[in-house]
Amino acid sequence: MNSPINQTRKINIRIRNAEDESKLSKKIGLDLKMAKRVVLKTEYLDLFDQTVVNASVASKRKLSKKRFFDSSYPFWDGMPRFYQERVVPHGVFELETNLSCEKLSKILDQKITDKTKSVWFPKLDRGLGDYGWLSTTNVKHRYPIFVISKGRPQCITARALKRMDADFKIVVEPSEESIYKEIWGDYVLVGDFDTTTNSSIPVRNWVEEYTDSPKYWIMDDNIEDFNCLTDNQKYVCRTYSIFAATEDFVERFSNVGQAGLNYYSFAKKTDCVPPYHINTRIYSCILMDKKINKEIIESDGQLWRGRYNEDTDLSLRILKKGYCTILMNAFLAGKVTTQRMKGGNTDSVYVDGDDRKKFAESLREQHPDVVTVSWKFNRWHHQVDYSGFTQKLKIKPNYKNQNYGLYLDKNGRNHNKVSGAVN
């Protein structure tokens, strides 16, 4: 009698080059060239208890087209190197199989579980070694950096900035002054703001009133590193010059209301992305403009407002005033997901127990013309339509170019390594 077989499953297999495709072809016993769907099944065990496997190429794939970034992207002249192309696998095919995880692990040379949906063959090495970006010129950022922190005295953003030798202040509540100063000393700035709201809104508004700088940076406290994206790699950055480069780039235009660094996870190294996007939201690592902020305050009575989505709300209000926003892809902020870390707003704001429905609905109430709410990924989400903001950047007649001296060092990741107390 034939033995029962396992349930059929599907796994997407990505292959980097023709050589790897040939290796896998030999392991499976099929010519995988141009394969789109491959069937690899245990049909039964014969009388001698030997596995009988049916292997076949069910369908063929078409050649993929590579797409390259135009390095003459508007206004990027004189800025640090940026070149991206869309990196596509040499081959991608769907493996339909009922082989056990153990047998699949041996064939694919990596651990396969019941939850595995997609793999690279051979296993993709995601490590970037010790490479990191340094600078020969160390062009200093002109504007102050304020890190808003609560309940996170280790403050990973401050650690990242310290590794870059950046100047910054950590803004904290009076009740947490001593625990922060024990680690950070003079980097700590205690604000006189309302602490009863259990949100960062009063802190952000206090920083706006506190600083007399025409522009300033305001950052969340859960950014574990800053990175440079180019040539389809995202290596860590150990120089503050990326902040200076961002400041200088914004200074080239007369109508930028807000700028900032994109999230590390939102700019994939395999994608053909430009060095910056315009007219979208700016999150967590923001270059603020006091002149524009004053206009928002005079119009709305308050710069930062509400309880949720304060950054998206402010970006939308700036865009609705007709200003542009600039979101950098060349420089990235490696932000840890808010709800993965204790402290901050995790324990005080995102605790409504309604699958973030109030969180999503609040932004729709503020901007019903561009925001919709939908249920996906087991919780409520807001969706913002930025397509209506079509204003163009207005270049100034004269702007300066600087040599930021960025270079990739094979041991750059370990530059200015921070451990223990830093005061």
The CATH number covering residue 244 comes to 3.90.550
220 and 338 belong to one structural domain? yes
Quote the percentage of the chain above a pLDDT of 90. Answer: 68
Answer yes or no: do 268 and 319 share one domain: yes
* Contact assessment for residue 75 and residue 37, using Cβ atoms and an 8 Å cutoff: no
Of 121, 148, 164, at which residue does a domain stop? 121
410 located within any domain: yes
Which among 231, 230, 228, 251 has a CA at the least distance from the CA of 239?
228
Say if residue 167 is in the same domain as residue 267.
yes
Among 121, 151, 175, the domain-final residue is 121
- The CA distances from residue 366 to 297, 313, 359, 372, in Å, are 16, 8, 12, 11
- Residue 135: Cβ within 10 Å count: 23
Backbone angles phi, psi at 206, to 5 degrees: -65, -40
Residues 154 and 199: their CA atoms lie apart, in Å, by 19
Please check whether residue 248 lies inside any domain of the structure: yes
Asked if 113 and 153 sit in the same domain, the reply is no
Same domain, 151 and 239: yes
Shared domain for 111 and 139, answered yes or no, is: no
As for how many domains the chain has, the answer is: 2
Largest pairwise CA distance in the chain: 85
Cα(134)–Cα(411) distance, integer angstroms: 10
In a domain, 69, yes or no: yes
Q: Looking at per-residue confidence, does 394 or 350 come out higher?
A: 394
**Does one domain contain both 182 and 114?**
no
Distance from first CA to last CA of the chain, Å, rounded?
A: 74
Give the residue, 129 or 145, on which the prediction is more confident: 145
Q: Is residue 167 part of a domain?
A: yes
195 falls within a domain: yes
Kindly state whether residue 44 falls inside one of the protein's structural domains.
yes
Give the model confidence (pLDDT) of 260-290 as tens digits: 999 999 999 888 899 999 999 999 999 999 9
Q: What is the pLDDT of residues 306-317, one digit of tens each?
A: 988 999 999 999
Tell me, yes or no, whether 116 and 258 share the same domain.
no
Tell me what the pLDDT averaged over the chain comes to. Answer: 88
Mean pLDDT of 239-254: 98
Q: Where a domain ends, among 79, 96, 121?
A: 121
User: Residue 338 has what pLDDT?
Assistant: 55
Q: Does a structural domain hold residue 20?
A: yes
Distance (Å, whole) CA 388 – CA 264:
26
Phi, psi for 185 (deg, rounded to 5): 55, -125
pLDDT tens, residue by residue, 96-111: 999 999 999 999 999 9
User: Residue 345: is its pLDDT beyond 60?
Assistant: no
> Domain for residue 1, yes or no?
no
> What pLDDT is stored for residue 307 in this prediction?
85
Residues 179 and 277 placed together within one structural domain of the fold = yes
186 and 291 both lie in a single domain = yes
| 238-262 mean pLDDT | 98
Quote the radius of gyration of the chain (alpha carbons, Å). 26
What is the span of the domain harbouring residue 55? 9-121
151 with 48, same domain: the answer is no
Residues 32 and 59 reside in one and the same domain: yes
